[in-house]
Amino acid sequence: MPKDQTPAKTQNPLLVLGKISSILDAFSLRHPVLSLADLREATSMPSSTVQRLVANLVEQGFLDRDGDGYRIGMKMAYWAAPATRGKEVLDVINPLLSELRDATGETVCLFRAEQSYRVCVGIAETRHVLRREMHLGELAPLHAGSAGRVLLAWKPELMQRLVQDSLEPLTSLTITGLDDLQSAVDATLADGFAITTGERESGASGLSAPIFDSSAGLVAAVTISGPTLRMSQEVCESWVEPLLETAERMTRLIGGRFPGESHRPAG
């Protein structure tokens, strides 16, 4: 036997685990069903290796067949449930704020809706001297900015509250008409994220995406924000994928799922 080949029964268990992890990591909430070809492309492993490991994973319940493809098995959900049991949602997802902050260099926040406002409930501040001021507990109007757009998009009852309020302009770019705001909210729902510039504060930009719980209910909006001079439209667009990946990881960590099989954030 050639020196570079190792009998299957003597393969390093850690090497096998690494290959299994690569297969499982290929699945996501945006791509829950993958074919063998998809898995080969995602893992860069030989076809024979992928086919053998997938067959073993199906046999053990780690993966389930779904037509001509595969999805994460329900057995994994059973094991995952205790991981976050007894932990507060923010404790689970807060570390990912820092990861996204380090990847982009800008402030990353979590926002929840409170009546006609959004409140900052989590933050990882930029290390830049020039920054957008944001603090835990700070309130901002729902109708201005990307986080508000996301909260309105996946909590339509919030929009009904705004119908009774006047939408005050914070800058010259703030949307103050209900029809215009509804159009912007509809676009956010279709895209799966929102990018805004100068709506809440002149010279500031933000992009946000939703986080969901196990019943597909909106938990919060995760937001990257900073000065427009560093966050141009082009830069914001380049950060959409990292933002969506972070929002998905947060959703998965709390056992959440996206609402509906047909609507997932674009990516």
Question: For position 38, which CATH number holds?
Answer: 1.10.10.10
In this structure, is residue 164 part of a structural domain?
yes
Query: Looking at the structure, do residues 75 and 206 belong to the same domain, yes or no?
Result: no
Convert 126-155 to b/e letters by CB count within 10 Å (16 or more is b).
beeeebbebeeeeebbbbbbbbbbbbbbbb
pLDDT at 88: 64
pLDDT at 132: 75
DSSP per position, the chain = --TT---GGGS-HHHHHHHHHHHHHT--SSS--B-HHHHHHHH---HHHHHHHHHHHHHHTSEEEETTEEEE-HHHHHHHGGGSTT--HHHHHHHHHHHHHHHHSSEEEEEEEETTEEEEEEEE--S-SS-----TT-EEETTSSHHHHHHHHH-HHHHHHHHTS----SSTT----HHHHHHHHHHHHHHTSEEEESSSSTTEEEEEEEEE-TTS-EEEEEEEEEETTTS-HHHHHHTHHHHHHHHHHHHHHTT---SSSS-----
Query: Looking at the structure, do residues 67 and 123 belong to the same domain, yes or no?
Result: no
For 120, other C-beta atoms within 10 Å of its C-beta total: 18
pLDDT at 73: 83
Residue 238 belongs to a domain with what CATH number? 3.30.450.40
Of 80, 114, 134, which one is at a domain's C-terminal end?
Answer: 80
In this structure, is residue 114 part of a structural domain?
yes
Put simply, whether the predicted model's pTM sits higher than 0.85 gets the answer: no
Per-residue tens of pLDDT for the chain, all 267 residues:
444 444 444 556 778 888 998 998 888 767 788 999 999 999 999 999 999 999 999 998 889 898 899 988 877 766 755 655 555 677 778 889 999 999 999 999 999 998 888 999 999 999 988 877 778 888 899 999 999 999 999 998 898 888 767 788 999 999 999 999 999 999 999 999 999 999 999 999 999 999 998 888 999 999 999 999 999 999 999 999 999 999 998 998 888 888 864 444 433
Query: Looking at the structure, do residues 196 and 227 belong to the same domain, yes or no?
Result: yes
Angle made by CA atoms 60, 64, 66, in degrees to the nearest 5: 160
44: containing domain: 8-80
In this structure, is residue 16 part of a structural domain?
yes
Query: Looking at the structure, do residues 118 and 72 belong to the same domain, yes or no?
Result: no
150 near 193, Cβ under 8 Å?
yes
In this structure, is residue 259 part of a structural domain?
no
pLDDT at 78: 65
Query: Looking at the structure, do residues 139 and 243 belong to the same domain, yes or no?
Result: yes
Query: Looking at the structure, do residues 34 and 133 belong to the same domain, yes or no?
Result: no
In this structure, is residue 225 part of a structural domain?
yes
* Structural domains in the chain (count): 2
Query: Looking at the structure, do residues 173 and 102 belong to the same domain, yes or no?
Result: yes
Query: Looking at the structure, do residues 113 and 237 belong to the same domain, yes or no?
Result: yes
Residues 6+ apart with CB under 8 A from 200: 140, 141, 144, 145, 170, 171, 174, 206
pLDDT at 82: 60
For 58, other C-beta atoms within 10 Å of its C-beta total: 14
pLDDT at 267: 38
Query: Looking at the structure, do residues 132 and 210 belong to the same domain, yes or no?
Result: yes
In this structure, is residue 261 part of a structural domain?
no
Query: Looking at the structure, do residues 104 and 156 belong to the same domain, yes or no?
Result: yes
pLDDT at 247: 94
Query: Encoding tokens for residue 96?
Result: 């990912």
Query: Looking at the structure, do residues 48 and 124 belong to the same domain, yes or no?
Result: no
Query: Looking at the structure, do residues 76 and 93 belong to the same domain, yes or no?
Result: no
In this structure, is residue 221 part of a structural domain?
yes
Query: Encoding tokens for residue 138?
Result: 């700070």
